[in-house]
Amino acid sequence: MSRPAVLITAALLVALPQPDALARRPGRSGPSSPSSTEASVTALSTHPVLAPWTGPYGGVPPFDRIDADQLAPGLREAMAMYRAEIDAIAHARGKATFDNTIAALEDAGRALSRVMAVYGIYTSNLSSPAVQAVEAELEPELAGFFDAITQNDALFARVEDVYTRRDKAGLTPEQQRLVWLVYTRFVRQGAKLDADSKTRLSAINQELAGLYTQFSKHLLADEDTAITLAETDLAGLSASTRAAMATAATERGLDGQWVVVNTRSSVDPFLTESSRRDLRERVWRAFVNRGDNGGETDNNAIITRILALRAERAKLLGYPTHAHWRLEPSMAHTPERAMALMEAVWGPAVAKVHAEVADMQAIADARGDGITIAPWDYHFYQELVRKDRYDFDQNVLRPYLQLENLREGMFWMAGELYGLHFTAVTDVPVYHPDVRVWKVTDGDGALVGLWYFDPYARSGKRSGAWMNAYRDQERFHGEVTTIVSNNANFVKGAPGEPVLVSWDDAETLFHEFGHALHGLLSDVTYPTVAGTSVPRDYVEFPSQLHEHWLGTPEILSRFARHVETGEPLPQALIDKLHAASTFNQGFGTVEYLASALIDMKLHLAGDTPIDPDAFERDTLAALGMPDELVMRHRTPQFGHVFSGDGYSAGYYSYLWADTLTADAAEAFVEAGSMYDAATAKRLVDDVLSVGNTIDPADGFRAFRGRDVSIDALMRDRGLVPAE
């Protein structure tokens, strides 16, 4: 979904991409006191973006003193400072030790971290043409900068020296893990290559950085378009959907009209509710063809080049394909293991889609609609089937799902499970009026961190939902609390009107909040291993797990209250909601898995030239993709994969993590309550607090008492045949 985020400190050296749900996690900021190197430089700097964060809560980003014009000069000045720090470490006198090499790397790059945090916010949330121009200019430069550090022979020699003697150095387990991570990442980024290969690798990375920026720019441009409708085009739409469309029109200067913005949060409600089949097709085609319309915003040629460069890079690094390189440090370790999981689920999921389509076609025939179910019909008719089979219309939930109430529900959940308390604060600057901030404290009143919330769509903000960490928890030089944010794209209603969301959107809120909790509950020494800095196919486990608390009676009875009457969600509706919990899982699983399989197969193809549209079409046909739906993310708009290395050959990780999630949720069920204190404590101790200080498989095994089983996933998705 985004370009690779850059991790400051030791992880920064290898520019590892971060998880999509955390997309553009821009860097780490540590203690407010600067190092001697950055102090000498920032004293002369005129850019507030560089300065150590001051103010309450251990220091906060000075958004009130920062603007986009500071990004390029600030980044270049911070790079110079970091380069000087790296040079000092690489040429330090005496034998390399953990303290003067690995720990010194952890402490380097503080100023660059702060600038990268702000840079990531601007490029994700405030991406004006001026910001896009800065991004296009700087991304290749940043890629070359980080390659130069990774390929610094003197620096790597010291890292390797510490690594070879790590077992006899009296290090703590966390220090041992950190040494292994730093050394392994250096090697994986080409530290052992010969000079010519290093030069070529850096050229590849710089070209890729520019291509990722172009891809994102094209996608953002296509998503910023909208279809304008008249009042006669609104048949079937709910009042809340009409209001959101009217607000979106007003924001575009189209008072008295209605628009469907070309983003999922706007398109899905229209496809679900509109009784105008012609308009559903029009909206659907505009959405699925993002990045695939020819002209200036077409992404196909960019994708072809990205795939070729990734294949070449993998060969340089000694791997048969990009997929093999990407998966080596993951829980899956190999593409073959990831493919085995996806293939085990694909067949049952496709069979369930065929059954779902048959039910929809029967409804359409009974209504005399005279149609054959097509992709633009799926959302509409699945709701008719839901009503027919379960006497349940998801739209009746929306008046009970107020955004602000759900936020309070998330806070309550965090308090019950982890003893966290959220208090709104107004004494910190924000980068946009939509953003609000809460301080987070534990049961003793001690500060845990800050939580920023940016929930609304706007021009220049990328689509989707994600979590950022502006600053990670650490205690390297004393306690440093984290700053995290959740970002979404809900459409504002009229001024003063509550924002109502769908059940799927409510699940997304809890999902992203799960990422935030993973960051807030971190309890480690070194920032590189803090919070969500875990393998790609593990990071979605805590977030997906927290979706399970949305449907608990405790949350629904307290926080799902009717927008007009204040009455709680009726038990009869709750019963119908749970009865229908596995409804439409064929669609949800297949549209996701199609994207994951295409992603993996694209990156297993090696250096074969690829036409993205043809590859997508032919591969889906070979897989037996049902005609009635499309991939969740078609290739030309697959930002997870082509706006950065991010989820490249890694989109499978949602399914991998969901396997862990379903199994872990059953641990709470077995304990008798989703709020069982002992189980929640184990989750904190073995998963949420440990970051990347241990192997994730060991952490899950400690929590569950055994290795993960796929059985819970198949039950959770209703993919097990009825006995």
Q: Please indicate, yes or no, whether the overall pTM of this predicted structure exceeds 0.85.
A: yes
**Phi, psi (rounded to 5 degrees) for 513:** -65, -30
Q: pLDDT tens digit string along 486-514? A: 999 998 877 888 999 999 999 999 999 99
CATH superfamily of 403-534: Collagenase (Catalytic Domain) (3.40.390.10)
pLDDT of the residue at 38: 54
Which whole number is the average pLDDT over 182-194?
A: 97
Which whole number is the average pLDDT over 461-467?
A: 90
Q: pLDDT tens digit string along 137-168? A: 999 999 999 999 999 999 999 999 999 999 99
Instruction: Please state, in angstroms and rounded to a whole number, the distance separating the CA atoms of residues 160 and 48.
Output: 37
Q: Are strands 421-425 and 436-441 parallel, antiparallel or unpaired?
A: antiparallel
Higher-confidence position of 109 and 30: 109
pLDDT of the residue at 439: 98
Instruction: Please state, in angstroms and rounded to a whole number, the distance separating the CA atoms of residues 418 and 441.
Output: 11
Flag whether pLDDT at 325 surpasses 50: yes
Higher-confidence position of 42 and 537: 537
- What amino acid occupies position 206? Q
pLDDT of the residue at 15: 33
Q: pLDDT tens digit string along 235-268? A: 999 998 999 999 999 989 999 999 999 999 899 9
3-state SS class at 50: helix
Instruction: Please state, in angstroms and rounded to a whole number, the distance separating the CA atoms of residues 644 and 648.
Output: 8
Instruction: Please state, in angstroms and rounded to a whole number, the distance separating the CA atoms of residues 606 and 189.
Output: 19
Burial of 406 (0-12, 13-18, 19+ CB in 10 A): buried
Listed by start position, the domains of the chain span: 9-220, 225-290, 329-392+583-647, 403-534
pLDDT of the residue at 608: 87
Which whole number is the average pLDDT over 218-231?
A: 95
Instruction: Please state, in angstroms and rounded to a whole number, the distance separating the CA atoms of residues 83 and 66.
Output: 24
pLDDT of the residue at 463: 83
Which whole number is the average pLDDT over 116-144?
A: 94
Instruction: Please state, in angstroms and rounded to a whole number, the distance separating the CA atoms of residues 104 and 93.
Output: 13
Flag whether pLDDT at 101 surpasses 60: yes
**Phi, psi (rounded to 5 degrees) for 299:** -105, 0
Q: pLDDT tens digit string along 629-678? A: 999 999 999 999 999 998 999 999 999 999 999 999 999 999 999 999 99
For residue 521, which of 418, 439, 668 has the smallest C-alpha distance?
A: 418
656 neighbors 228 (Cβ within 8 angstroms): no
Q: pLDDT tens digit string along 573-627? A: 999 998 888 898 999 999 999 999 999 999 999 888 999 999 999 999 999 999 9
Higher-confidence position of 240 and 33: 240
Instruction: Please state, in angstroms and rounded to a whole number, the distance separating the CA atoms of residues 589 and 595.
Output: 10
Flag whether pLDDT at 22 surpasses 80: no
- What amino acid occupies position 722? A
Which whole number is the average pLDDT over 201-211?
A: 96
Flag whether pLDDT at 40 surpasses 60: no
| Residue 493 CB partners (closer than 8 Å, separation 6+) | 240, 243, 244, 247, 499, 500
Element holding 529 (H helix, E strand) = none
pLDDT of the residue at 605: 95
pLDDT of the residue at 720: 75
Of 23-27, 301-305, 499-503, the range with the lowest mean pLDDT is 23-27
Average pLDDT of the chain to the nearest whole number: 91
Q: Which residues pair with 451 in a beta bridge?
A: 438, 484
Q: How many other C-beta atoms can be found within 10 angstroms of the C-beta atom of residue 57? A: 18
List helix spans (H) across 2-128.
36-42, 71-90, 104-107, 110-125
For the chain, give the longest Cα–Cα distance: 84
Q: Are strands 447-456 and 258-261 parallel, antiparallel or unpaired?
A: unpaired
Higher-confidence position of 329 and 6: 329
| Residue 127 CB partners (closer than 8 Å, separation 6+) | 135, 220, 460, 461, 462
Read off the DSSP letter of residue 371. -
Both tokens of 632, joined, read 């969740």
pLDDT of the residue at 3: 28
Q: How many other C-beta atoms can be found within 10 angstroms of the C-beta atom of residue 284? A: 20
Flag whether pLDDT at 466 surpasses 70: yes
| Residue 337 CB partners (closer than 8 Å, separation 6+) | none
Both tokens of 311, joined, read 């294949």
Both tokens of 13, joined, read 């050296």
pLDDT of the residue at 549: 98
CATH number for the 9-220 domain, one of 2.60.200.20, 1.10.1370.40, 2.60.200.30, 1.10.3720.10? Answer: 1.10.1370.40
542 neighbors 513 (Cβ within 8 angstroms): no
Q: Known catalytic residues?
A: 512
pLDDT of the residue at 46: 65
673 neighbors 335 (Cβ within 8 angstroms): no
Instruction: Please state the separation of Cα 707 from the chain's center in Å.
Output: 26
Instruction: Please state, in angstroms and rounded to a whole number, the distance separating the CA atoms of residues 577 and 573.
Output: 6
Element holding 270 (H helix, E strand) = helix 264-273
3-state SS class at 502: coil
3-state SS class at 662: helix
Instruction: Please state, in angstroms and rounded to a whole number, the distance separating the CA atoms of residues 590 and 360.
Output: 17
Sheet containing 436-441, strands listed edge to edge, beginning at the edge strand earlier in sequence: 421-425, 436-441, 447-456, 482-490, 466-471
| Residue 76 CB partners (closer than 8 Å, separation 6+) | none
Higher-confidence position of 98 and 6: 98
Instruction: Please state, in angstroms and rounded to a whole number, the distance separating the CA atoms of residues 137 and 398.
Output: 44
pLDDT of the residue at 202: 96
Instruction: Please state, in angstroms and rounded to a whole number, the distance separating the CA atoms of residues 500 and 395.
Output: 10
* pLDDT band with cut points at 50, 70 and 90 for residue 35: low
